Structure 1
């Protein structure tokens, strides 16, 4: 097409057009008999076109004279328009009718995170959230067909960035261009231009209140997560992942997945979906899936770094369901965030969060928060393993302190109880035992002053010593005395309180010989409800060689019960109003007096229940007791 600003070319075109009109008139005159209404109409149109061209040439001539005959004025205007377009403070993208990007201004490049050269030639619908692409195409078609401007909310994303915007599409018709163009203007969802005075006030007031509130919410979430992970139950039971997942699902995500490495293999430990949607079956399916099939999980495990996509760009990031549909499509995920669970350099798993398409997307602040959360969870899992290893070791040591079962003692009914207390679990120093001796059966209750592995090892030594020495000795006093000398020689630095007794069923009836080494004196429940205490006495084992060990003989009639107990029972504390009291022998006496004629198990249970009531359910220290009732 001839450039409309080229005056000589226009003049040449006008001369050609005039010549053509003359030729047509001559042709009409040469054939006067031919009907010529159509030709007459064509001549009129050509005359009109000639007149318009003459007028245009005249105007162009005047314009050139006004500008001093200088060419290039329109070029300067074009440069100005291009500069304005590039400098506009709002994102503007020029599209062709197929939706392909043709021009991008600087603000649009900043919004999408790529230079204009990279974006030019790309299909604009690919920059729109997959869930909203169909709506965008409908609006684009409407603008092309009707020429009317369309404005609608949508979501743009590229290079890991996502933005909720109000997109305005308007048709552009440019002279000299064979194809129409579309201008796409991306405006914020909410636009509010502050007055100058208001802007000054907001500047003086300091940080944006919404940013401060968001930071406070993130801090609160981390605080709650830390308290939850440090809870004793989170350490003693495998519930840290479950609790953390539920907290994250209720505060920051719609879907939460936790995948943990066990034995070199990554396994799904948790899948939580939106609580207000019918997704139970989908959750069950996701729980059974192999997380190693998810490219995103593998990437985070191998790289040890978190990933955030403000808008999902690849539906296959978390793998596919058995029916072939992508997990991210089935969960309606619009934004995804995945971070490693790690303690130091050890990557123990992956936490993955999803937000639905209608929710605000995850951002860099969320990524930083969740990376900290992943480190906290990793440390909690490592502490949990150490705690469980320690608990297993404690159980092993405890097996050396307490018998698995109580043997049947002919003519006697035996029951016992041991409680570690409600304080954080530690290896106890108290014990009880019933064991065979030279001419009958032995029994003992005692405790080391202290707790922990060393106390448990000394307790196991005492228990083993009692059993071993009793094979050759028929006097509990001699056994306890020799055990005392052995402890002094070992120089453990720990002292042990013990009450031990021997019975010889059949030969001596209900005669019980008792030896005491600093333990509380055993109680004897008589058939008439009276409760008496033995002499007890002595000093704890391990203090001095040759220490005197008091020994006494107690007669038990049929139906009477002897109760041995540790300092953890007698010395435990409780409150009565504002006053703190010890459980003591006086309260024990009242409980035992109500148990006349009852079997040994009932006596032990009654004391346990009363002790719990006295302590308000918070028994901090361990407690041990053993009941020996003569049955016949």
Structure 2
């Protein structure tokens, strides 16, 4: 018991030494307060840097000076609002691009050296350079500083651009708003497309190989500084046109570019191979058109598109803008690809027209003499104009030829155009020639040609006049042709009877026939309906009365002068727009 009592006494003493209950409550309260303070500290530790980051971002965006953040390769990673305003492009366009491309090309080497220096040094480096973008060029003091950020494995470089020659503009600077600028640019592109379409549809662009050079000149005047056209010919590329800036003394450079082999231009080869256009808004490779070409041009941007129609690639069209102009963009590329397609179609149409024209020339040589023969005692001259409205071989013809006991002539025109009309007029012309060896009367020759023409069942008819000349006597026959004019030495003008039924119109038709005696100095003038039937822009008819006035002024002049006077007066009457075929044949008794 004694031992048990002793142990119970010791336990009671230890219990008496324990803190009272209210002291435990106080300690518990202190612990709770400490935990609460720790929780607050944690929240402050988590939220404080986020607020600071937001503040720093806002400061960066609204700084009144341009600031650019780049990685160690010089690629733009961040820019502020003032930078986008200075360069004229949004952040989404500039971020991810190489910053050296925003430096004027002649100063890029200096920038790269200073950039490398900033990466090596703890100190900032400052130098003067020029930013060039969107047609804007600014001289700036550029400050480069290396940035080391805790926890980030890669360093950055901050560039601060302090403009020295530009007053930063505010919202009320009077400039076009972005929407207005986009609208005006779209309208400009639409007008350029319309101009080119009108140019390519012009008659002269079909008649002569001028479509390509006209298109290049238009593009050079409206949207580019340099225009280069390279065409595929004989299995290879050949430089076809080079348009240079008209405001700069670059004749020597233009000749050098013309002499360059297009095969030396990697960009041209790429476009030809891929059959798709390419745009370089900011040039990073000066060898795209061959060594030193773009450098000498001081090029800022370029685009290149194929000239093609369907599956055929006819060539490559390249446009270059200088550094002081806004660069080409995707909208320009789309427009030029469409223009390249239109130009390809126009060139194909031109080749087709040329083939048809060559065929027409070959057929026309069968109905028009290359030259008039010398006729004893007479002078002769003739003119023929195909007319600007002609899309096929014409139907008019004339001829002068020797025959037994004298010589003969014929003039006429089929009511139609094309190969069938040419074959009919050839039949009439050659038929009169052959029959002149057997017939003494041109009327009888025309009658037999009429029978032959009806036997062909062509449905075409021909107005013609034929004459057989023996000495001073002219036997003249008409099958629906205009009466001939006779210019006398005293200036008087009278007309023959003409008339008759056109060939191929009626079986058994008899031509109207008459006989003339030409005295020395008299001139017989035969002409087509295209001359006297012409109407002016005011609706007036040229007619035989005006022809009489012209002939009266040609007294004692040779036939060559007479036909020239008629041609010049006719051109003046129709404002140099000769629409229909015109044929005039003159014969003058010289002795």
TM over 0.5: yes
Point out the more displaced range, 263-272 or 66-75: 66-75
Q: Tell me how far 1:348 sits from its aligned partner.
A: 0.8
CA deviation after TM superposition for structure 1 residue 81, in Å: 6.6
Are 1:154 and 2:131 an aligned pair?
yes
Tell me what 1:183 maps to.
158
Residues 142, 439 of structure 1: CA spacing in aligned structure 2 closer, same or farther, 3 A cutoff? same
> Matched residue of 1:431: which SS?
strand
Deviations along 1:505-543, one digit per CA (max 9) or x if unpaired, are xxxx31111111010122223334333322222100001
Question: Aligned partners of 2:179, 2:554: CA distance in 1, in Å?
Answer: 71
Question: Is 2:370 the partner of 1:404?
Answer: yes
Q: Tell me what 2:234 maps to.
A: 263
Query: Do 2:107 and 2:129's aligned partners in 1 also have CA atoms closer than 8 Å?
Result: no
Match of 1:499, SS state, is strand
Q: Which residue number corresponds to residue 454 of structure 1?
A: 420
Do the aligned partners of 2:124 and 2:143 also contact (CA within 8 Å) in 1? no
| Residue number in structure 1 paired with 2:480 | 518
Q: Say if 2:125 and 2:143, in contact at 8 Å, map to a contact too.
A: no
> Quick one: distance in 1 between partners of 2:536 and 2:73?
80
- Matched positions, count: 536
Tell me if the contact between 1:232 and 1:424 (Cα under 8 Å) persists in the aligned partners: no
> How many Å apart are 1:113 and its aligned residue?
6.2
* 1:615 counterpart residue number: 574
Q: Which runs of 5+ in 2 are unaligned?
A: 1-34, 81-89
**Distance apart, 1:194 and its partner CA:** 6.1
- 1:233 pairs with 2:204: yes
| Whole-angstrom CA distance in 1 between matches of 2:455 and 2:241 | 55
2:221: which partner in 1?
Answer: 250
Matches within 5 A, 1:29-108: 93=69, 95=71, 99-100=72-73, 104=77
**Aligned partners of 1:571, 1:395: CA distance in 2, in Å?**
25
After TM superposition, the structure 1 stretch with the greater mean CA deviation from structure 2, 268-277 or 368-377, is: 268-277
Asked if the contact 1:520/1:567 (under 8 Å) is kept, the reply is: yes
How far, CA to CA, are the matches of 1:605 and 1:149 in structure 2? 78
State the distance in 2 between where 1:329 and 1:361 align: 16
Deviation at 1:447, TM superposition (A): 0.9
Alpha-carbon contact 2:386-2:582 (below 8 Å) kept: yes
Q: CA 1:109–1:540 in 2, change beyond 3 Å: closer, same or farther? A: closer
> Equivalent residue for 2:286?
315
Tell me whether 1:364 sits opposite 2:330 in the alignment: yes
Alignment deviations for residues 157-204 of structure 1 (CA, whole Å, 9 cap, x no partner): 9xxxx9999876456577899999642479999977869xx9xxxxxx
Structure 2 Cα separation of the partners of residues 424 and 387 of structure 1: 12
Q: Deviations over 1:384-405 (max 9, x none)?
A: 1122222212212221121000
Query: In 2, Cα distance between the equivalents of 1:605 and 1:192?
Result: 67
Map 1:464-503 onto structure 2 (within 5 A).
464-503=430-469
Q: Distance in 1 between matches of 2:495 and 2:392?
A: 31
Q: 1:170 to 1:530 in 2, by over 3 A?
A: same
- Matched residue of 1:619: which SS? coil
What is the RMSD computed on CA atoms of the aligned residues? 4.1
Shift of 1:367: 0.8
**2:115 is the alignment partner of 1:136:** no
- The residue correspondences of 1:157-176 to structure 2 (distance < 5 A) are 169-170=144-145, 172=147
How far apart in 1 are the matches of 2:310 and 2:161?
43
Does the 8 Å CA contact 1:437/1:474 hold for their aligned counterparts? no
How far apart are 1:94 and its partner, in Å?
A: 5.3
Would the alpha carbon gap of residues 183 and 378 (structure 1) be closer, same or farther in structure 2, given more than 3 Å must change?
same
Match of 1:302 among 267, 270, 273: 273
- Residues 465 and 150 of structure 1: is their aligned pair in 2 closer, same or farther, counting only changes over 3 Å? same
- Report the counterpart of residue 18 of structure 2 in structure 1: none
Q: Which residue of 2 aligns with 1:211?
A: 182
Which of 353, 356, 364 does residue 319 from structure 2 map onto? 353
- What is aligned with 1:37? none
* In 1, Cα distance between equivalents of 2:93 and 2:376: 89
The answer as to whether partners of 2:101 and 2:282 remain within 8 angstroms in 1 is no
Pick from 375, 383, 391 the counterpart of residue 341 of structure 2.
Answer: 375
1:96-119 CA-partner distances (Å, limit 9, x unpaired): xxx5569946999954565xxxx9
Q: Which runs of 5+ in 1 are unaligned?
A: 1-63, 199-204, 321-325
- 1:445 corresponds, among 402, 411, 416, to 411
* Deviations 1:368-416 (CA, angstroms, capped at 9, x unpaired): 1111111121121112112222221221222112100001112221111
Moved more, 614-623 or 137-146: 137-146
Q: Do structure 1's residue 587 and structure 2's residue 546 form an aligned pair?
A: yes
Contact 2:388 2:577 in 1 (8 A): yes
On the 8 A contact 1:429/1:447 being kept in 2, the answer is yes
Distance of 1:111 and 1:587 partners within structure 2: 70
Aligned to 2:24: none
Identify which of 492, 510, 514 aligns with 1:552: 514
Structure-2 change in CA distance of 1:190 and 1:220 (3 Å): farther
2:492 corresponds, among 530, 538, 562, to 530
Query: Is residue 246 of structure 2 the alignment partner of residue 284 of structure 1?
Result: no
The Cα shift of 1:311 comes to 1.3
Q: Which residue of 1 aligns with 2:84?
A: none
Contact 1:518 1:537 in 2 (8 A): yes
